Amino acid sequence: MYFHAQTWINEIADGEPDPAAANALQEGLGGQFGEMRTMMQYLFQAMNFRGAAAKPYRDLIQGVGTEEISHVELIGTTISRLLDGSPSTPASSPTRSTPRARAARRR
């Protein structure tokens, strides 16, 4: 069972939209060594500790996995706030100048 507190470990300050920073954080959230992977590993490994003798270890590993859930939430919310107020598509961003974006603007 998990308990969800509606308070932040660290307050996330609102500021200007920063899609580049949000993009950089996405790797930390769901990349090869990201928080999502780590969370799933701990929660899955906790399920593998079976029996009464393994309960202390299961509780420990599950506690770490639960903490990782809060990291996923924190990074996900940070990404969301970094994107608040930014253009909805990369092609509509004035700083985006890729061949595909230029071709889309010409249409």
35: number of Cβ within 10 Å? 20
pLDDT of 56:
95
3-class DSSP state for residue 99? helix
| Model pLDDT for residues 76-98, shown as the tens digit of each residue | 988 988 888 777 655 555 555 55
**Residue carrying structure tokens 């990404």:** 79
Q: Measured on CA atoms in the order 21, 23, 24, 27, is the torsion positive or negative?
A: positive
The mean of the pLDDT values for the chain is 82
Dihedrals phi, psi of 45, to nearest 5 degrees: -65, -35
Residues flagged as binding site for Ca(2+): 59
Distance separating alpha carbons of residues 65 and 39, to the nearest angstrom: 5
DSSP class of 34 = S
Residues flagged as binding site: 35, 59, 68, 71
What pTM, to 2 d.p., does this model score? 0.69
Residues flagged as binding site for Mn(2+): 35, 68, 71
pLDDT of 6:
76
- Domains of the chain by residue range: 19-87
